[in-house]
Amino acid sequence: MSVTIKNNADIEKMRIAGKLASEVLDYITPHVIPGITTDELDRLCHDYMVNVQNTIPAPLNYAPPGYAPYPKSICTSINQQVCHGVPGERVLKSGDIVNLDITVIKDGYHGDTSRMFCVGTPTPQAKRLCDITHDCMWIGIAQVRPGATLGDIGHAIQKHAESSGYSVVREFCGHGIGKNFHEDPQVLHYGRPGAGLALQAGMIFTIEPMVNAGKRDIRQMGDGWTVVTKDRSLSAQWEHTVLVTPDGYEVMTLSAGTPPPPAFIAR
């Protein structure tokens, strides 16, 4: 595993990219309403990134080994879709939940974040899943400090999700990020306390738990990208990019519209 420790210049560039990614979500929030298609959300975000921010949408034409190039600028994962949902003609309706995953490139550096949106009036069950998953992300973030381990993060997330009656997807994880979209380390959202890589100041990675209302099993759809729950239960995900600081952590994907951390996270 080759983990890049970021220097002060890298960190400042990552702060800018992270804030810009979050500001795309601020911009799109009033448009996530019943009647809009995910294609239209993608178009609006693309135009905002390219024409307003002068950023590059990192997902567009992204092609990791074994994958066809991703055809859109954002990911839109609805209801039972776990991650990597491809925008298209689907119309959002009241009661849907949708994750919008945004990654921008600014001056060669990546900012990566996602949020859950409740379209119209959600069911209490769907709202609870979104809220608990948001808590899980922040519980994971709260573990971050020099000397803590990746296992500490994963264990804290898994414990909260499972004690709430949910399951954690294991096939996808957080990741290091910087000049590359995906770098070491892999940040699992399950694990054992004290296990895995010890954190050092200057590491930057995402924490992005995918939490299912039913079982954790998943499958990939025919488009080669969209991942869904095998039992068709609802799934939720939240994501921030996090810097390990000398005395704790800094969340790099904050903006004016970022939902605040839960009250029980002391900062």
Q: Domains plus CATH for the chain? A: 8-251 (3.90.230.10)
Determine contact, residues 106/53, Cβ cutoff 8 Å: yes
Please state, in angstroms and as integers, the Cα–Cα distance from residue 142 to each residue in 39, 99, 125, 149, 152, following that order. Answer: 35, 22, 26, 12, 10
pTM over 0.85: yes
Please state, in angstroms and rounded to a whole number, the distance separating the CA atoms of residues 30 and 24. Answer: 11
CB atoms inside a 10 Å sphere around CB 183: 19
Instruction: Say what the pLDDT of residue 66 is.
Output: 86
Query: At 43, which amino acid appears?
Result: R
Instruction: Say what the pLDDT of residue 267 is.
Output: 53
- Grouped pLDDT means (10 residues each) for the chain, 267 residues: 94 98 98 98 98 98 93 98 97 98 98 98 98 98 98 98 98 97 97 97 98 97 95 98 98 98 82
Q: Is 235 helix (H, G, I), strand (E, B) or coil?
A: strand
Instruction: Say what the pLDDT of residue 171 is.
Output: 96
